[in-house]
Structure 1
Amino acid sequence: MKIAKKLLVGISVLSAVGLLGACGNGSKSASSSKTTEIEFFNQKKEMQPTLQKIIKEFEKENPTIKVKFTNVPDPGKVLKTRIASGDAPDIINIYPQNTDFQEWAKAGTFEDLTGKDFLSNLKAGAAETYAVNDKIYSVPLTNNAWGFFYNADKFKELGLEAPKTWADFEKLVATIKEKGETPFALALTQNDSWTLNGYHQLAWATVAGGFKAANDELVRSPKDGIKTSSEIFQQVTKELDLLHGNGQKNATGATYDDAIATFAKGDALIFPNGIWALPAINNQNPKFEIKMFAYPGVKADQQLTVGAADLALSVSSKSKHKAAANKFLAYMTTKKAMQKYYDVDGSPTSVTAVDTEGKFPETEGVTQYVFTDKQIVWLQKEWTSEEKFWHATVNYVNSQDQDQLANNLNTFFNTMKK
C-alpha cells in the first residue's frame, strides 16, 4: 500500500509538472503570437479607401501586426497638437517640404531612416531631397506637380500648340482671344488665391534661374530688397500680366470649383493648376481630351514644374514599436502596395517597381518632368509661411500695381530676414 501510495504521489507530481509545463508552453505560444498595434496617421483623405485596402493586405501578410488607421478632420492642426503633447503616432503622413516638418526633424521628433534597406526601392535622390542635416526622416512615395491643363480638342480645331517658350505662350493667348475664345479659367478671389501659387513661384524660378536663385531674390535678399526696378521683377510681373483680363467674365469672384466648371464645360481653354485637379475636372464629365503642359521658360527647354512629396511617411522617434513601423514602411515601398495606390491616385511615384507606362496620359506633359532637374520643390520649403504670398499674387493679377506687389512681398519676406 505504501508503495502504491508513493507511486500515486509520484504520478500526481509528474502530472502536475506536466501540466505546469504545458501551461508554460501555452504562455510562450501566446506570447509569440501577441499582436503589435501601430498607429498610421493619414492626411490624404481622398486616398483613405485605397490606403485601407493596402493596410488590410499588409496585415494579412503580417498577422502579428495590427495597423490603427487614423483619419481626422483638420489633420494638420491635430498633428501639431499631438506632437506638442508628446503623443506622436507611430507612422505619420507628413509633408517633408514644410517648415514644421524640418523643425520637428531637427528637434528629434522623427526616427532617422538613413541607410534603411527599403530606401533602395525609391528613385535615386528621392528621399535625399528632403534630408535634414544630411539625415533622412521621410520616405516620399508620391509627388505632386503644377502646370496647365488644356482643351486638346479645341487646340487641334484652332490649329494651336502647347507653348515651348514664354514668347510662344504670349502668342498662344493672343491667338485664342483673336479666335473669340477665353484663354484661362481662373479663381481670382482671396479664398482661392492658393490656386496661382504655382504660377507665381514658377515665374520667379524660370526668370531667376531655379529654386535657389528664386529664393535668393525673395527670402535671402536684404530687407526691402525686392525692387520694381529689378529686371527679374519686371519679367516676373510681365508673366503675371498674362493672366490679367484673360480669364472668364466672373474670374475676380470665381472659386476654385467655378474655375474647374468653366474649364470642364469648354468655356475657357486653359486651366492653371496642379495635377491633383484632374479627378475634380473628370467629375464634371468634360466632352474633350485633356492634356497638360509645363510652365514655359524664357528659352526653349527651360520649362519647369513645381511640386513636392505628397504621400510621405515618417516614424516617430518615441514609437514603442519601431520594428513593426519600419516593416510597414518597407511594405509601402513595394510594387504590391504602391501599384494599387498609383492606379487610383495617378501622382508620380518614386517607387521604381511601379508600372506607370501609358497611364494617366492627361498629365504626362507635366509629370514627365517629376524627379528630374525640370522640377523644383515648392519655394516655401525655405519660408516660414506662404498664405500672404498667395494673396499678393491675386492682388497683383487683379490690379497690375507693381509698387503694391513689391511692398506686399517685402512685408511678407522681411519677417524671415535677419
Structure 2
Amino acid sequence: MRKTLVKSGIAAVLCASLVTAAGCSSSGNTPKDADSKGNAGSESGSKTKIEYFQMKPEAVDVVNDLIKKFEAENPGIVVEQNNVPNPESVWTMRVSTDDAPAAFTHYPHNSVFQKMAKEGRVVDLTGDPLMANVQPAIADLSKIDGKNYLVPVGLATLGVYYNVDIFEEHGLKPPATFDELIQLSEKLKSAGVTPFSFHDKDWNGIRQEVVFKMGQNLPNIEQFLDDVMNGKAHITDNPDFKPFAESLLELRKYGQKDNLGTSNDDAMRNFANGKSAMWFSGIWSIKEIQSSNPNINVAMFPFPTKDAADLKTQVSVDTAIGIPTNGKDQEATRKFIEFMTQKDSVETYLQVGGYPSGIKDVTTGRPEISQLTQLITDGKVYPTIERLWPPGTNGDVGKATQEMLATGDVDKYLKNLDTIFFNKFNE
C-alpha cells in the first residue's frame, strides 16, 4: 500500500537521523543556550529566543546578516540560526520527537515533509497572512493535498545553457520550438561544433532531465501515472510515451561521442570551455560554469516544446519557511518569517544564488536566466512530477533511462518503466 511504502522510507530516514543528530550540538550555529537536544529555550533574560533551522550551508552568512537586521528592528527577539549536516534527516527526527525548531526551511515536494504535513505536524498556512505576498502560481504548485504548509521564497528550475559567442558566430538564436532546436543542432554539427554536452554517466542527472520533460511534454501525466501506480493502466497504454522516449534518443545524436562516460562535472567543464554550444542543467550550475571559465559569455533559454504556445518550465521550491504545529513562541516566530519574506529581505537572500523569487515584485535572478525568470513571473510553470512518486522510484527511472540511452531499445524501456510504476501504490 502507498502508506506502507512511505512509512518504510520514514523509518530509514529516522535511523540515519539518530546517527547524524548526535553532531548537532557541536555545530557552530547551534543556539548558545541550547539544552542537550539543541533547544534554545523560549527566553534569554527578558528576550524571546527562537531557533531558525535552515538547510542551505551556502546561505549561512547572508541569513546571519538578515538576522542582525531583524534583531535591530525587534530588540525583544533573539534569533539563533542552526545549519547542520544532513539537515533533512535531522529535521525529521526532531519533529518526530517533539523537539521541533521554532522556524525551519524545507521543500514542499519532499515526500517525507509531505507525510509530516499530512500528519498535522506542521502549521497549515493556507490563506494565512504569511502567504499574502506569494506569487499565486507558486502558491498553487507548492500545495500538498490542496493546502500550503510552507512560504515559498526561492525557486529553482532547469533549462538549456548556451554559449552566446558560438551562437552569434553561426548566426543562431535561442529556439522557440523543439523542431527549431533540432535544426540549429544540425547547423552546429555541420559546422564542426558539438551542439550538446550530456552527462549520462550520472543516472541522477538523467533522472532530472526525464522528470522535467515528462512534466513539460506529456499531457495529464500526473493523473496517468497515478492510474498506473494504482494498477489501473500500463505505461504502454499511453501513445505519448514512445515519441517522448524517442526524443530523448534523438537529442543524443547531437552530443559528444562518450556521453555515457561523461559525468556532470565533466559535462559542465566541457561546456564552460567551449567544447559544446549547449548543456541542459539547472540554474544552480551557473556559478560553477563561470568559476570554470570566468570569460564565458553564457545565457539560458527554456527547453522548447513542440508548440511554442505550450512553453512552460518546471519549478521546485528551493527555499521555503514553515512553523511546526507545537512550536514555541509562535508570535515571535511569525514576526521573523514576515521579515524574511518581505521584499527587501528576499532580494538580499536570493542575491547569493541569483535564484528566481516565489514572492511578488522581487527583483532578483541573474540576467543570464531572464527568459526563465519571465516564465515564472508569467505563471507558466508546473511542479516536479516526482513529488508524487514513492521513495526510490525516481532513481529507478533514471537508471532505466540510462540503459535505454546505452542500448537504443525504446520498447524495452517502456516495459521497464511499466515495471517500475505499475501497481506501485499497492505493493
**TM-score, normalisation: structure 1:** 0.85
Q: 1:219 to 1:132 in 2, by over 3 A?
A: closer
Q: Secondary structure at the match of 2:160?
A: strand
Equivalent pairs counted in the alignment come to 381
Q: Deviation per CA, 1:80-99, whole angstroms, max 9, x where unpaired?
A: 22222222221111001222
Report the Cα distance in structure 2 between the residues aligned to 1:242 and 1:286, rounded to whole angstroms.
Answer: 32
More displaced, 247-256 or 323-332? 247-256
1:205 counterpart residue number? 215
* Distance in 2 separating the partners of 1:119 and 1:227: 38
> Contact 2:153–2:320 at 8 Å: present in 1 too?
yes
**Paired residues for 1:53-68 under 5 Å:** 53-68=65-80
Kindly report which structure 2 residues correspond to 1:17-416, keeping only aligned pairs within 5 A, or say none: 34-189=46-201, 192-209=202-219, 213-221=220-228, 223=231, 225-228=233-236, 230-356=238-364, 360-385=366-391, 386-414=394-422, 416=424
Query: Following the alignment from structure 2 to structure 1, what is the Cα–Cα distance between the partners of residues 351 and 97?
Result: 37
Q: Alpha-carbon deviations, 1:148-184, whole Å to 9, x = none?
A: 1011110110112211112111212222211111121
Q: Could you say if the C-alpha distance between residues 365 and 242 of structure 1 is closer, same or farther in structure 2, counting changes exceeding 3 Å? A: farther
Structure 1 counterpart of 2:222, which letter?
N
Deviations 1:263-299 (A, max 9, x none): 1001011110111111111111243321111121111
Runs (4 or more) in structure 1 with deviation over 6 Å come to none
SS of the residue 2:372 aligns to: helix
Q: Is the 8 A contact 1:244 1:398 kept in 2?
A: no
Structure showing greater Rg: 1
Unmatched 5+ residue regions in structure 1?
1-30
After alignment, is 168-177 or 151-160 more displaced? 168-177
Whole-Å separation in 2 of the counterparts to 1:90 and 1:290: 41
Query: Considering only aligned residues, what root-mean-square deviation do their CA atoms show, in Å?
Result: 2.2
Which residue matches 2:15? none
Letter in 2 for 1:197: R
**Which residue identity is paired with 2:279?**
F
CA contact (8 A) 2:313 2:372 kept: yes
Q: Kindly indicate whether the alpha-carbon contact (under 8 Å) linking 1:152 and 1:290 is maintained by their aligned counterparts in 2.
A: yes
In 2, distance between residues paired with 1:377 and 1:72?
27
The structural deviation recorded for 1:241 is 0.9
Partner deviation per Cα, 1:13-39 (whole Å, 9 max, x = no partner): xxxxxxxxxxxxxxxxxx997122211
Give the drift of 1:229. 7.1
* Separation in structure 2 between the aligned mates of residue 39 and residue 337 of structure 1, nearest angstrom: 18
1:232 partner amino acid: D
SS state at 1:203 partner: helix
Alpha-carbon shift at residue 230 of structure 1 (Å): 4.2
TM-score, normalised relative to structure 2: 0.83
Check whether the contact 1:147–1:294 (CA below 8 A) recurs between aligned residues: yes
1:25 is matched with none
Contact map agreement 1:142 1:312 (CA 8 A) in 2: yes
Moved more, 245-254 or 262-271: 245-254
* Identical-residue share of aligned pairs (%): 30
In the alignment, residue 150 of structure 2 is paired with which amino acid?
A: S
- Indicate if the aligned counterparts of 1:226 and 1:409 stay in contact, CA closer than 8 A: no
Q: Tell me, yes or no, if the aligned pair for 2:57 and 2:83 is still in contact at 8 Å.
A: yes
Q: Cα distance, 1:195 vs. partner?
A: 2.1
